[in-house]
Amino acid sequence: MSTLSPIDRYHSEPLDVHRWSDHPEIKDLTDTLYDELGLVDLESKSNNKKGAHPRVMLRVLLLDLYVRWLKDPNLATGFQKSVAAYKPNSRYSKLHIGRKIIKVEQALEDHGYLDVLTYYHSNSGAGRSFTTRIRPSQKLQEHYAKLTVSLFDIDLNYLWECIILREKFIDENDKISTTYDIEYDDTELTNRLRSQVEAYNRLLRRTFIDIPSFRTSSFTRRITKGPRTGQTSTISIGPDNKYVRRVFSGGVQSDWKLNGRFYGGWWQQIDKYYRSQIYINDEPTYEYDLKALHPTLLSNRAGVELPEDPYALKDHIITHVDRKTQRSYMKLLVLMAINAKSPKMAYAAFRDSMRGDPVAVSLTDTVLEELLTAFFLEHPHMEKYLCKGLGLELMGIDGQIANMVIDHFTQQSVPVLCIHDSFIINYRLGDELQHVVREATYQLTGYRIKQDIKNKRHTANLQVTGNIAGYQEPVSVDLNTPIRIHPTQEYQTRRDKFYKWVSLSEF
């Protein structure tokens, strides 16, 4: 076994209790350790058995650790040791994982199967707290090294609820927010939404989505926004990171019109440079986005059409940055103002999102107010919509658009990837995608919103003629073709393994 780096609190992912496999090797390992750890003592002695059997909990924990070990041996698991974190009767834990998993994990610790970095709690409340981090020790790695089980042999999202209802609580100072998943009763609406997302996930599972230039099925990127700015994150582009859920933010009122965006899928976790290199089923793709969707939706309410680029101001407000940078700041500030309930919250959110940019972080409320005022001077009709907390309502609209687009193509067994207000599809189907997005947007809003294609591509000009009206004489037509990527040998190996697995699977 190779020597691992010390556990890094930030290089971790939370425990996922939705791993499952009936592979004989996994069952044998679970049985062996179950006896060695003496977990029979955790079995309920009463007839009123609540939660999963300890053997199930051990298998889930071993699988979750194994999946991360396969991806990146240095990647740790964030493990909650608070009993309140485990709700066996929740719809979000359909394996019924209860508090006994804490004792199962402790038994693995006590027998030397885990390396551990204990939790950290900020007593002052000013800093961030961290759950315990665990990782397979040398002893457990030796067991894992003997397994032939691959990610394809593991159901990585077993019984995972794909329709999520959330509530966000904010303290009286509007400084700390906490988000909770809310229990809800199923209705005809939630059942229909779930069946659509489940069908989409089944399609994604049998779809090969990868980047041909990558030698590995994961890569490390530097975080440039948010509270983790400056740290690194490892993103898997393998089959373990394709599951998609719809998240609604209607809270205890069960308002299913708020948010409803599609979340999950590694394509949402990478920047546009890498997204442009995505292949679907070994073919190039194009990404189309709805231009300035949320500002356009709000402007349309006022009956005013925004200019081609609403963020490019006539005046140079921030004198110590160039106009291109000012435009990027303006764009982010407007998006923050759409979501925020007050200007001060918008300014704070702007700086928080730009922690990797020292200049942006240094901009005071006064400067940002001048920037926002300049936007209102050029687009006065927008002032009544910004800083009114309309973000979730607008997300609800783009979530519905995405649902209509995804459902249309899923019914044809055509995979399309969603990044909220943009879509990635096989380059041959770009025209159909644009048509479906255009019609879905019009149906929901009464407006047709401009679309952009983000990919660089080869363009050739052809003279087309024929016996169709308008083409009797040669007509100049631009023909676009994708920039193809030379595949690495590792990509080809991943592709061949995937297609072999699909051929042996029953869908």
**Listed residues 159, 175, 201: the one ending a domain:** 159
pLDDT in tens, 286-319: 999 999 999 999 999 999 999 989 999 999 999 8
Q: Are residues 324 and 426 in the same domain?
A: no
460 against 327, higher pLDDT: 327
Q: Are residues 281 and 426 in the same domain?
A: yes
Kindly tell me the number of DSSP H helices and DSSP E strands found in the chain. Answer: 14, 18
Largest CA distance in the chain: 87
Q: Are residues 225 and 274 in the same domain?
A: yes
Residue pair 298/387 in contact (Cβ under 8 Å)? The answer is no
pLDDT at 68 over 60: yes
* Cα–Cα dist 207/348, whole Å: 41
pLDDT in tens, 408-440: 999 999 999 999 999 999 999 999 999 999 999
**Listed residues 349, 378, 407: the one ending a domain:** 378
Q: Which domain holds residue 102?
A: 1-159
Q: How much is the pLDDT for 457?
A: 86
Q: Are residues 301 and 315 in the same domain?
A: no
pLDDT at 465 over 90: no
Percent of the chain exceeding pLDDT 70 equals 94
The per-residue DSSP string of 84-129 comes to GG--TTSTT-TT---THHHHHHHHHHHTT-EEEE--B--TTSSS--
Facing residues of 332 across strands? none
Number of domains comprising the chain = 3
Q: Are residues 213 and 242 in the same domain?
A: yes
* Residue 287, φ and ψ in degrees, nearest 5: -110, 125
Number of neighbouring beta carbons within 10 Å of residue 272: 12
Q: Are residues 301 and 217 in the same domain?
A: yes
pLDDT in tens, 121-132: 766 555 567 899
Q: Are residues 306 and 347 in the same domain?
A: no
Tokens at residue 174, please? 């509007």
pLDDT in tens, 351-406: 988 988 999 999 999 999 999 999 999 999 999 999 999 999 999 999 999 999 99
Q: Are residues 150 and 169 in the same domain?
A: no
229 against 27, higher pLDDT: 27
Facing residues of 95 across strands? none
**Listed residues 329, 353, 378: the one ending a domain:** 378
Tokens at residue 448, please? 């047709």
